[in-house]
Amino acid sequence: MNTLPTEGDGMRSVPARHQPMGDLVTVGGSNGNPRMKIAHREIGPEYPPLVIAEIGINHGGDLEVAKDMVRLAAQAGAECIKHQTHFVEDEMTDEAKSVFPPNADISIYEVMQRCALTQQDEIELKAFAEKLGLIYISTPFSRKAADFLNSIDVPAFKIGSGEADHLPLIRVSWSIARARSIAPCTIRSSGPDRRMQSIVSRVR
């Protein structure tokens, strides 16, 4: 885990440390330690693991299916739900309408349109998760998505591996975290540590 601290009230910036303890870069924490906080939950070597249930877009755009997934995750003991927030027109170009995933008869653009929840549905899903005592976080795939998640007080953003070098999105997400004095902006990495070091240094 590589940690890039967020400057908060009275907190000075500390150089990032590169400690390969997993595949997340954590933008947050303090004093260069690999720790962070999402909502009320402290995360770090001295705390129990945080179990995050990945909902993603596996609900296929159906709010009731998404709620069932959240309910089952809560029953299984998860503490946190991770969703994906898509505003397809803001994250894809028209060229995506001509890109067809393997074994699919519709374009990736249409796939994502079908799987994305509406803004109101996501607000309702977040409220449902929180009513069950779960922390709700999400992955934004565009600036519009990041701004929306900020507007509904999502306590952390997770940047997907496919967006790990999407510097404009990372910078927007990080600036939101800093402005709200919330630490977490986590980046999922599928590449070597040197790639993560390059991304962290460019974001800084």
Sign of the C-alpha dihedral computed for residues 30, 34, 40 and 46 taken in this order: negative
Task: Write the Ramachandran bin of 20: left for phi over 0, alpha for psi from -120 to 50, otherwise beta.
Answer: beta
Lowest mean pLDDT among 23-32, 48-57, 64-73, 185-194: 23-32
pLDDT of residue 97: 96
pLDDT of residue 7: 30
> Mean pLDDT: which of 9-13, 50-54, 169-173, 190-194 is highest?
50-54
Determine the 3-state secondary structure of 122 from DSSP.
helix
Contacts of 78 (CB under 8 A, 6+ apart): 51, 52, 53, 134
pLDDT of residue 200: 65
| Confidence check: pLDDT of 96 > 80 | yes
pLDDT of residue 16: 31
Distance CA 140, CA 159 (A): 7
Distance CA 46, CA 33 (A): 11
Residues 34-90 have pLDDT tens digits of 678 889 999 888 999 999 999 999 999 999 999 999 999 999 999 999 999 999 999
The DSSP annotation for 132-162 comes to TT-EEEEEESSHHHHHHHHHTT-S-EEE-GG
User: What one-letter code names the amino acid at 8?
Assistant: G
Residue 145, CA atoms < 13 Å, CB-side half-sphere = 27
By CB neighbour count within 10 A (0-12 exposed, 13-18 middle, 19+ buried), where does 159 fall? buried
Share of the chain above pLDDT 70, in %: 72
**pLDDT confidence band for 166 (50 / 70 / 90):** confident
Mean pLDDT rounded to a whole number for the chain: 79
Please tell me the total number of residues recorded for the chain in this structure. 204
Share of the chain above pLDDT 90, in %: 53
| Confidence check: pLDDT of 12 > 50 | no
| Confidence check: pLDDT of 183 > 80 | no
* pLDDT (average), residues 125-140: 97
**pLDDT confidence band for 186 (50 / 70 / 90):** low
Residues 145-163 have pLDDT tens digits of 999 999 999 998 888 877 8
Q: How far apart are the first and last CA of the chain?
A: 17
pLDDT of residue 20: 29
- Report the DSSP pairing between strands 36-38 and 41-43: antiparallel
Determine the 3-state secondary structure of 92 from DSSP.
coil
* pLDDT (average), residues 181-195: 58
